[in-house]
Structure 1
Amino acid sequence: MPQISAYLMFDGDCAEAMRLYERILGGKLDALITYGESPPEMPCEPQDRDLIMHARLRLDDQLLMASDSNSQCPYEGKKGFSLSLVYPTVSDAQRIFNALAEGGQVTMPLQKTFWAEIFGVLVDRHGTAWMISGGQMNS
């Protein structure tokens, strides 16, 4: 089976966002490559040199990847998806939810649902939508 990984696009704040996700989620940010680091045969526009061409956050056997949009591919926002995090405990879900919500917008506060002890939805300060669950409901 292939591994499915999310690849996020940002509007010039990719490095800041990925460092935030590393701090909150854990893992290791092991790639943060700018357009300016491209080889000579792949030149970039001068205004794009400091933007992130590729970032990779390793979370155990999972990856979260990202880049900044550049002048040849303008940013169009993040639409039509959410990243889902499922935690075994309510306390872990609350901690991560609160950290990601700081400076963002909570669209559904954490609450009990029929599928989890706690579930909430937010958009973080970088425009990424998250759905966070914690605990398992007894069947």
Structure 2
Amino acid sequence: MSLNPYLTFDGNCGEAFDFYKSVFGGDFMMRSTFAEGPPDMGVGDEFKDRIMHVSLPIGGNVLMGSDTAGDSSGPYVQGTNISISHAPDSKADADEKFAKLAGGGMEIMPMQDVFWGSYFGMCVDRFGVRWMLNLDTGNAS
């Protein structure tokens, strides 16, 4: 089981992660822009060069992040721009944990198969903590 911090930025995610890489060393596991996502994501052209996802291993953890992409990703609020990412063991485990975390809170994106080959969902728990559940299913499209 892993819990990893997920940071959200408003256009300077690449710069921030280049800085973190210079501090902690290592290589990015993944770094992609919104332009690399599917066209039906609804991301405006002005956001295509922003970071859709980046991950940098640091010790036994992974620091992850992305930029906002206008209305399709919700507003950026500095100070609340961190989520906890959890890798569940199975779809059943993901569904159970998601239901518990979202209960009394707010569902942002229901658990679903996504284009990067994962079963993924986002919610905010009743304490205002943002969660991302990401089960790698290996079914990238």
1: CA distance between counterparts of 2:30 and 2:76?
21
1:70 Cα deviation from its structure 2 partner: 1.5
* 2:79 match: secondary structure: coil
Q: Aligned residues: percent identity? A: 34
Q: 1:10 is aligned with what amino acid?
A: F
1:39 aligns with 2:38: yes
1:24 aligns with 2:16: no
Contact 2:21–2:27 (Cα < 8 Å) also in 1: yes
1: CA distance between counterparts of 2:78 and 2:11?
12
Runs of 4+ more than 3 Å apart: none
Structure-1-length-normalised TM-score: 0.52
Q: Computing the radius of gyration over CA atoms, which structure comes out larger, 1 or 2?
A: 1
1:80 Cα deviation from its structure 2 partner: 8.8
Aligned to 1:76: 77
Range 4-13 or range 72-81, more displaced:
72-81
User: Judging changes above 3 Å, is the alpha-carbon distance between structure 1 residues 71 and 41 closer, same or farther for their aligned structure 2 residues?
Assistant: closer
Contact 2:10–2:68 (Cα < 8 Å) also in 1: yes
2: CA distance between counterparts of 1:39 and 1:17?
25
Count of paired positions = 80
Contact 1:9–1:69 (Cα < 8 Å) also in 2: yes
